[in-house]
Chain A
Amino acid sequence: MSSGEKRSIQERIEKGKFYFINGKYEYAIKEFEEALKLSPEDPELLYSLGVALEGTNSFEAAREKYLKVLECSPGHKMAREHLDRLLAK
């Protein structure tokens, strides 16, 4: 991955988080999805996308992302917590 791509991912993540904490989940989802195109198996990105999807009550899609996080990073505690919460819904 080039340094330009790395920078682009970082910018997308920051923008995504900005939108997320302001409750603009749809915009956050777009940013995280764009970043994931460059780094499709990044557990932190997948997790952030999962949380943003949950924000819009897209529970099935969020569940898929958390499962993928745990595939890539089985010890990811936050993804496990969110997944357990979703499974209990």
Chain B
Amino acid sequence: MRSFAVIGLGRFGAAIARYIEEEGGEVVAIEKDASKVRDYESEFTSVVEADAASIKSLRELGVSDVDAAVVSIGTDMAASILITLLLKELGVPLVIVKAQGPLHGNVLKKIGANRVVYPENDIAKDIARQLMWPGYNELELAPGLVILEISAPRAFTGKPLKKLKIRSAYSANVIAVKRKEPFLTEENQTDYKEKVIAPPDPETVIESGDSIILVCPASSVDKFRGMK
């Protein structure tokens, strides 16, 4: 079983620990605030009251053997930096750290954090994007590579994928088409189900109301944004 350490049981840290356990992973949750430890000790398998800014404590808790650690310290930037450094010294292969802002994030990257996350900022970015571009979703797959979901533009409808030349024109590969299947309910109300065609055939004809899911370099994203 894969094992993980979650350091700091604020809302973000607790949510991470909860999801890892739900997915069948083993978590040691470390928190120095006794009241938070009490709040979560009945929920999580292993919650320990300890100061993670001590290499001795981390060693004793077996943190050097975990597959990955998540550092989710509220406002104490110094503690989050020190703990990240200690985790890297202990040889934890993957250290993910919640940052307060860009400066904090830069320091974390410089001392070896494998991934720095800005949860509030990331969610705000997603919501702003959804508000600006309804029907448009973007997910970063790897640096410089994204999965996009776009509403099929009018110029695409009625044409088979092979004629759209999406690969040559947009440097993108279509991996799925989401299609609405309209029906009437027993109460005679209109509704629809969504069907996913994956992978689509080159002959698949794009219909009005389809959504197209594609993989493309981040540099191609602007070509798709706002297409109607």
Chain A positions within 8 Å of B, measured between CB atoms, are 17, 20-23, 25-26, 28, 44, 47-48, 51-52, 54-57, 59-60, 78, 86, 89
Whole-angstrom distance between the alpha carbons of A29 and B213 in the complex?
Answer: 26
Q: How many residues of B contact A (CB 8 A)?
A: 20
Closest 3 CB pairs of A and B: A57-B151, A59-B134, A51-B190
Q: Which of B130, B182, B190, B207 has the most CB of A within 10 A?
A: B190
Main secondary structure of the interface of A (DSSP, over half): helix
Does B75 have its Cβ within 8 Å of any Cβ on chain A?
Answer: no
Does B118 have its Cβ within 8 Å of any Cβ on chain A?
Answer: no
B134: chain A residues at CB < 8 Å are 59-60, 86, 89
A44: chain B residues at CB < 8 Å are 189
Task: Name the distance in Å between B185's Cβ and chain A's nearest Cβ.
Answer: 8
Whole-angstrom distance between the alpha carbons of A76 and B183 in the complex?
Answer: 18
Cβ–Cβ contact A23 & B208, under 8 A: yes
Does B100 have its Cβ within 8 Å of any Cβ on chain A?
Answer: no
Task: Name the distance in Å between A34's Cβ and chain B's nearest Cβ.
Answer: 16
A52: chain B residues at CB < 8 Å are 190
B3: chain A residues at CB < 8 Å are none
Whole-angstrom distance between the alpha carbons of A60 and B188 in the complex?
Answer: 25
Whole-angstrom distance between the alpha carbons of A17 and B192 in the complex?
Answer: 12
A56 with B190, Cβ < 8 A, contacts A17-B184, A21-B182 known: no
Cβ–Cβ contact A55 & B184, under 8 A: no
Residue in A47, A55, A60, A78 whose CB lies within 8 Å of B180: A55
28 residue pairs A–B, Cβ–Cβ below 8 Å: A17-B184, A21-B182, A21-B183, A21-B190, A23-B182, A23-B208, A23-B209, A25-B209, A44-B189, A47-B189, A47-B190, A51-B191, A52-B190, A54-B180, A54-B192, A54-B209, A55-B180, A55-B208, A56-B209, A57-B151, A57-B209, A57-B211, A59-B135, A60-B134, A78-B189, A89-B134, A89-B135, A89-B137
